[in-house]
Chain A
Amino acid sequence: MSDIHHPGRRSVLTAGLASAAALGGSWLLTGCAGAEAAPVLPAAAAKGAPDRGGTLRIARPPASDAETLDPASSLSAYEYLGALYNRLVRIGSNGELAPDLAESWEPDAKARTWTFHLRKGVTFHNGRAFTSADAAYSLRHILDKATASPQAAVLAPLIDPAKLGTPDAHTLVVPLKTPNAEFPSLLTHYNCYVIPDGSAKSVGRTGIGTGPFKLESFAPAGPGRVTAYTDHWAGRPVLDAIAFYSVADMSARSNALLAGQVDLLSQTNLDFATARVVAASDRATIARVKNAQWYVLPMLTTEKPFTDVRVRQAMKLAYDPEHVVQVALQGAGTPGWDNPVPPSDPAYISAHPKHDPEQAKYLLKQAGHEGLAMDLYTSSYDPLFTPMALAYQDSAKRAGIRIKVKTASADSYYTQIWMKKPLMATYWFTGRPVDQLFTQIFRSGSSYNETAWSDKGFDAVLDRARAELDDTKRRELYGEAQTLVIEKGGAMTPMFADRLVGISRKVRGYAEHGFEFDYLGIGLKGA
């Protein structure tokens, strides 16, 4: 802060007024341009090689005042994890699995036992060598009830922590309770970063991992700093250091970027108005994470009238996802057509029923709900909820469906509205492997099953897919699962939205997709 000096009062006032006029002027310009201004938002961040070194400053929303560096915890400080740790397996930019600390992996003939061959010559930040004991310990740590890890719900039905095998220092054997051909993909979750053996008590503060950066300081919901780990197995990162700052308020975060105090806003999907202001600034610009946010209008299948599959089908046929993308996203995204699998996923199928308000009317008449009237809940939790709800309301009118959009308080939205009201707006970050997506959010009885949908046929398809080792056949089964969700499920997926990320014009090599952030390649130019 040494560059801040205190000018005289008079000059502050006059210069301030002049700059206010200038800013107002530029806003008017962008505002008046209207439709022409829409394509102004850049499609990608600046390309080109970064300079070596430098400190990247990231503003982040704190997970909680009790946040921790323990990757398995539900209160983990997400942005630090990818810098400090590695997983066994990660998801590559093409959506396929890619090696991380495991160089290769293979199942037995029945997909009941998986063997991971671990990378040699990897060291933790404290100098200790990484071995299979650490990998096994990290899995046991996730499964430990005391950790209360969200990923335990996914892994506990599959793994018995006592049976993990470590035949040698660089081999991990995981016997499964039920066959699962997609098991390695479940280890790509951000709760599955590898921590040193026996570090459950301390890792939340020390952050010791094998990642490209090592921890210098960390305060829950406060500032923190990581510095380049020169002995990282994949080579030294471009940056010398990353400073993380916690800024809870979203407009305060964008102000910090506009004022040049930070270089990147993480986990922040800017609204279009703010994004325009950022893009017009000469310090900052907008980068996009394609289809990063999966927007859902879940219908609770246990609440009337959504207990009737014909009503659910009518709700889906009644609206036009293209219209929602144009209105709510100003085109910055992809229509979902009620398929929860993002278009970038290798298992994605593009087939879907056409928008058909007449058929919707017919189905509603059959079900005895002609001229259906429903409340649709939204909140300011995310800037796109209300535009999406209004676009749906508008589009569904043609099928005679009357939607009333109701706004609920943002701070209790996920405790009072989500999974409680029959119809509401919500979203997830994309990046879940397809098996986890279906198992966690659509399978009968799962704790994240936000439509409370229960379909034995669908569950059976998931089981068959898990037991199928042939990649092509397995993908066909996941295609079948998508068809079932589209035709019978309770979730409407109107759109996948690009995340509009505020980023300094100096940043180069920014790459983020799903839960993957490239900390090795990101850097600064001319800083």
Chain B
Amino acid sequence: MLSFITRRIAAAVGTLFLSSVLVFLAVQALPGDVATQILGKDATPDAVAALREKLKLDKPAWERYADWVGGALHGDFGTSLVSGKAVGGEVSTYLGNSALIALVTVLFAVTGSIVLGVLAGLYRDRWPDHLISTVSLVGMSVPEFVVATVLVLCFSVALPWFPAVVLYGPDASVGQLLPAVWLPALALAVVMAAYIVRMARTSVIDVMATEYVTTARLKGLSTWRVVTRHALPSALLPTLHVIALNVAWLVGGVAVVENVFNYPGIGKLMLSSVQNRDLPTIQAIALISAVVYVVCNLAADLATMALNPRLRTRGRTR
């Protein structure tokens, strides 16, 4: 178990390093740089040269990368080339706002989809199953920005219950953001839930067909007890992995949805910094996304092991 964890962590660090190199190269390959992107039509040669010098863009690319890595290792992610603020502070402000959405989304998606998945599994091939399966398939197939737009039309435009967009900047308080969190979270949860519902349904069907469930039923236990005490723990196991992967997917999904809602989160910051070619900010965001991805996967693997005695013992005997 211990050696497994150390190997996984070593691989994770390697993944992080590789992703930082790849992101750096990708941004270098994009046409234009901060100076031309900020100035746009006003990018006269003089103005561009002045801005490049001010932002130290005249140094070679590898040197700028080395500078960045050196700073990052000491916890200094540099300053944004556009706003001139410290990247660390700026990214964490936006990240905090996104975490609010992510938290609500995960709560919605996980509880909702497990309940629906179990229901579908229990009523296999009857109307609740057909309804839940069809709706979740549709949810899986429709892109999140379409779901988001439909939600805005229904619950902001037609029925003015929720704000359509966030009008505050990144420094908004939780109280200011809270009314605006529900629609983006719902949009993300709909897309995310589909996978979890399918997975939960399949595993419930599998578990309900096993001998120990049959035995429990023969003992005269109520369906409710059979499901909650015996079926659910085993059925949750394969679902865990899907949940973890979906949480990692959130990092990307949030980028699109946040822009639809003008929500001041990490996804919106990412889009504007890519458009501006603001390298230090992009690097920091990429690093955070990679960390989330790696940690989610690691957590999924560890949780699976913790819950599955066979995997756990195999690790020990080796």
Contact = CB atoms under 8 A, between A and B. Distances in A.
B82 A64 contact: yes
A251 interface: yes
B70 interface: no
A249 B166 CA distance: 12
Interface string B157-193: 1111111110111110000100100100000000000
B282 to A, nearest CB: 13
A222 B158 CA distance: 27
A109 interface: no
B163 A1 contact: yes
B47 to A, nearest CB: 5
B48 to A, nearest CB: 9
Contacts of A249: 259-260, 262
Interface in A7-62: 7, 12, 15-17, 19-20, 22-23, 57, 59
A65 B164 contact: no
B47 A252 contact: no
A16 to B, nearest CB: 4
B238 to A, nearest CB: 28
A19 B157 CA distance: 9
A444 interface: no
Contacts of B220: none
Contacts of B37: 411-412, 415
B82 A65 contact: yes
Given A247-B167, A415-B37, A20 B32 contact: no
B95 interface: no
A199 interface: no
B262 A248 contact: yes
A222 B32 contact: no
B273 to A, nearest CB: 8
Interface in A403-433: 409, 411-412, 414-416, 418
Interface string B202-214: 0000000000000
Nearest to B263: A252
B150 A20 contact: yes
Contacts, number: 147
B32 A415 contact: yes
A415 B31 contact: yes
A145 B179 CA distance: 46
B260 to A, nearest CB: 6
A75 B38 CA distance: 8
B156 interface: yes
A173 B199 CA distance: 79
Nearest to B186: A12
B83 A65 contact: yes
Interface residues of chain A: helix, strand, loop or mixed (majority): loop
A448 B157 contact: no
Most B C-beta atoms less than 10 A away, residue of A1, A22, A261:
A1
A223 interface: yes
Nearest to A281: B157
Contacts of B51: 148
Interface residues of B, number: 56
Interface size class of A (residues with CB under 8 A): 35 or more
Most B C-beta atoms less than 10 A away, residue of A150, A153, A256:
A256
B75 interface: no
Nearest to B178: A1
B240 interface: no
Nearest to A244: B167
B97 interface: no
Contacts of B169: 219, 221-223, 246
Contacts of A12: 155, 161
B171 A222 contact: yes
Contacts of A245: 167
Contacts of A252: 164-165, 259-262
Interface in B121-180: 149-165, 167-171, 176, 179
Contacts of B44: 150, 153, 447
Nearest to B170: A222
B14 interface: no
Given A19-B154, A148-B50, A7 B84 contact: no
Interface in A240-281: 245-249, 251-253, 255-256, 258-262, 281
26 contacts: A4-B163, A6-B182, A19-B153, A22-B158, A23-B157, A64-B276, A65-B278, A148-B46, A148-B50, A153-B44, A221-B272, A223-B167, A223-B168, A248-B262, A252-B164, A255-B152, A259-B156, A261-B163, A411-B37, A411-B274, A412-B31, A412-B37, A414-B43, A415-B36, A415-B43, A447-B45
Given A19-B154, A59-B167, A247-B167, 4 more contacts: A16-B158, A66-B83, A252-B260, A256-B165
Interface of A: 1, 3-7, 12, 15-17, 19-20, 22-23, 57, 59, 64-66, 74-75, 148, 150, 153, 219-223, 245-249, 251-253, 255-256, 258-262, 281, 409, 411-412, 414-416, 418, 447-448
